[in-house]
Chains A and B, each alone.
Chain A
Amino acid sequence: MGFLKRARVKSPWILHYCTGGCNGCDIEILACLTPLYDVERFGMLNIGNPKHADVLMITGPVNWKNREVLQRLYAQTPDPKVVIAVGACAATGGVFHNCVNTLGGVDKVIPVDVYVRGCAARPEAIIDGVVLALQKLEEKRSGGVAHAAGAR
């Protein structure tokens, strides 16, 4: 099982979903794919389908409209999986704090494993967040549901 466990952290496929932020963080996430940061070095791929994903990278404060979408994407991602909330508004609502249409953070809807700070989050921070998330991923057992509290 050594190889399989190692493989888990060497091949994080990322599903990126914006729940209504300003798109600043989304641009930074995509910047990670560019030659400058090149996250594919670590085997990371930006994938468009929850059924293929290991890491959910969520930006935005979550609003009432896309709350269910987020829940379903989360449910459709096969275990083991980790959730990264990228940016201030994904963590707490950020600049959208107390807006009536938002819920104020990803963790109001689905369990979050890693929070990445910044408004917008820097690519380096995002990559750091993924590395942190991978450590959590390694701890999770296939099919396990024990979600640790978010780490900063």
Chain B
Amino acid sequence: MTLTWPIIIAVAAVLLAPLVGGLLRGLDRKLTARMQGRLGPPLTQPFYDFGKLVGKSRSVSSRASIAWVWSYFLLTLTAFALFFLGQDLLVVFFILAFAGGALAFGALSARSPYARFGANRELLQMLSYEPILLLAAVAIYFQTGGFTVYSVFEANQPLLPFLPLVFVAVLVALGIKMRKSPFDIAASEHAHQELVRGVYTEYSGPHLALIELTHWYELVLLMAFLALFWVQPLWVGVLIAFAAYFLELWIDNIAARLRWSWMLGASWGVGIGFIVANLVLLSVLL
């Protein structure tokens, strides 16, 4: 593979992702409001929030915190770019784990009780979804013979018909990563409170804006990963990703927050269990 096209795609993705991610978050708030019988903010609300946060003065309670929050952003960006360069999925997830670690380090450095509790829970969340993501990459290898994003596009069949249970497991991981109920234990999205604001408690103004921006990248990355399950043709995958997003929002609005031990049980039991079942079935049936 020549690198020209992947680079163009990756640059375009890096530039467009904030727009897409922001709109997705706007859609999230709009839909959530509608589900609650409200009108909700305009679709562009996340951009206003972002702009406002950028313009606010900053309050810093620990230098290490602000360093790590930048690392969180840059590492997520690295993982994001690697994904759109068609690179190895496991490498992408490992770097993404580094990014998640950076967020937790930032919160732990802040020494605020709320941030620290949030960070510990963030780590529990990672304990829950990391195995799912890694195993999903392995499952994709089972089907395509490669660990790279590129190899998914080279395969001549869509993945979803063969890996339906893996897809369900990834949905669980997506819920945790998007900080949606019932898995929003470290710090919830929206303005719901959990431990004040958990990992984000000590960030303000521009740093909070940076976190928001990183979330947009994360969201687009995860949606793109979901879309990988049907890339022949790609638009089906994109539709599937949107459907999955809608499903997450719906679950978010009907579910209450779970305890962490439940989350671990659900994600390991359902997530890992489903993937293993899927792989076993695949190797037995095919």
Contacts and interface: CB of A to CB of B under 8 A. Distances in A.
B191 A8 contact: no
Interface stretch (B43-51, B139-147, B167-175, B257-265): B43-51
A63 to B, nearest CB: 24
A4 B55 contact: yes
Interface in B38-73: 38-42, 45, 47-52, 54-59
Counting chain B CB atoms within 10 Å of each CB, the highest count among A3, A51, A80 belongs to A51
27 contacts: A3-B51, A5-B55, A7-B47, A7-B49, A7-B54, A8-B52, A10-B48, A10-B52, A11-B45, A11-B49, A35-B37, A35-B38, A38-B39, A38-B40, A40-B33, A40-B40, A41-B40, A42-B41, A43-B45, A45-B190, A48-B197, A49-B201, A52-B197, A52-B208, A78-B56, A79-B57, A142-B57
Contacts of B37: 35
B39 A41 contact: yes
Dominant SS among interface residues on chain B: loop
A3 B52 CA distance: 9
Counting chain A CB atoms within 10 Å of each CB, the highest count among B29, B59, B193, B205 belongs to B59
Range for the number of chain B residues in contact with chain A: 20 to 34
Given A11-B45, A11-B49, A40-B29, A142 B55 contact: yes
A10 to B, nearest CB: 4
B51 A51 contact: no
Counting chain A CB atoms within 10 Å of each CB, the highest count among B52, B55, B191, B193 belongs to B52
A4 B39 contact: no
A13 B212 CA distance: 15
Contacts of A143: 57
A97 B106 CA distance: 46
Interface string A10-38: 11010000000000000000000001001
Across the A-B interface, the 4 shortest Cβ-Cβ residue pairs: A7-B51, A10-B48, A45-B191, A51-B204
A43 B36 contact: no
Contacts, number: 88
Contact of A49 (B36, B51, B197): B197
Dominant SS among interface residues on chain A: mixed
Nearest to A33: B38
A152 interface: no
Contacts of A4: 51-52, 54-55
Interface residues of A, number: 29
A48 B196 contact: yes
B121 to A, nearest CB: 16
B248 interface: no
